[in-house]
Amino acid sequence: MEIHNEFLDVNYCYQYYLLELVADNGNYYLTVPRAMKLLGISKFEITQYVEGINADLAVFSPTSHLKVNADGVFESQNIDEGVVRKVRLDYLKQSNLFKMLEFSLLHPEKNETADFCDALFIGTTKFYELKKEMTAIVEQFDLKFKKNRLVGSEIMIRQFIFKIYYSYFNGIEKPLQTVQTVADQAIDRLSADLGISRLPTTDKKLEIYIKIQYIRMHGKDYLTDHVLTAGFKEAQANLWHSVTQMMANDYRLNVSGEFEIEALLTFLFAEGFTQFEVNWLASDLQSKVTQLTQRFIEQVNVVLAADAGQTPQFQMAIQQLTQDLN
């Protein structure tokens, strides 16, 4: 399941949706009645949200502006997807739900209700309202929020956290900056040892992955399952040694991190930072790779069947790709 806007406060959610509708994406014609119908809100609320949006745009993009003209049609100025994403990130950072999640992530030792109330400047009643909302959200991802902490499969917890930070922060600013130095040093060491190419998109993914791994391990929340098959450590000794040294020098943890090393190596493989044979992946991961490949092939076949107007050369190229994937 994908992360959307579950963590945004209701009013900010509507302001974000309205911004998305009016962003500069062609000659999209949006009237107030149409926006009211699409969002299920009143004309008064539209007026309030436009005022709120303009106040936010004045901070993040002073040349951007939104108004409704005399004919009841929205007119936007310099509101592109980049501006919308910056405003959306600000809405997230103001969300008490997100603050609750981040506090529980960064301070696993502080799990009393009073700790959260002090950190978020809220009362007990508000805390329990937020906790109820948090529980409903994480249950959609097969997780629980018990004793004010995320509970469930550790790999699922990390995937959930990763999706939130990558979805909102990517390309705008660096999240979890309290561990920025650790992440920078770890990535520099891995780059030097493994000779990996660093591209902006994959670099940001690796940075977020390492930050979450480091934080969870320091909170004594470890992975407990193999994701690589037996013999990998010996067969790929250089890869194994590089990650082991990084964890010892940069994470500074005196624990046996075999499962963590495997997980990071698998991430490096999946993102193209390093290469090894797919058959080193644990059988369940190999099955997932096969399923995803088959799903992609099926989608390609649907496109081929529906788009007979494409050139023969295009169809031959897609068919060859399908054969190669098989």
DSSP assignment string, 12-69:
HHHHHHHHHHHSSSSS---BHHHHHHHHT--HHHHHHHHHHHHHHHHHH-TT-EEEE-
- pLDDT given at position 203: 85
**Hey, which residues does 275 pair with through a beta bridge?**
none
Domain boundaries, the chain: 10-93, 95-152, 155-281, 284-325
Higher pLDDT, 161 or 196: 161
Query: What spatial distance separates the first Cα and last Cα of the chain, rounded to whole Å?
Result: 26
- pLDDT given at position 37: 93
**Residues 21/73, Cβ–Cβ less than 8 Å:** no
Quick check: helix, strand or coil at residue 151? strand
Cα 27 to Cα 38, 151, 322: the distances in Å are: 18, 46, 37
- pLDDT given at position 292: 55
Among the listed ranges 23-37, 171-185, 217-231, 240-254, which one has the minimum average pLDDT value?
A: 23-37
- Checking if the pLDDT of 27 tops 70, the result is no
Topology, domain 10-93: Arc Repressor Mutant, subunit A (1.10.10)
Sheet strands (E) in the chain: 65-68, 74-77, 144-146, 149-151
User: Which residues, including other chains, have CB under 8 Å from residue 124's CB and lie 6 or more apart?
Assistant: 113, 117
Which tens digits make up the pLDDT trace of 54-103? 999 999 899 999 999 999 999 999 998 899 999 999 999 999 999 999 99
Question: With 0-12 CB in 10 A as exposed, 13-18 as middle and 19+ as buried, what is 104?
Answer: buried
User: For 195-204, what is the mean pLDDT?
Assistant: 80
**Residues 281/231, Cβ–Cβ less than 8 Å:** no
- Checking if the pLDDT of 33 tops 80, the result is yes
CA distance 78 to 91: 19
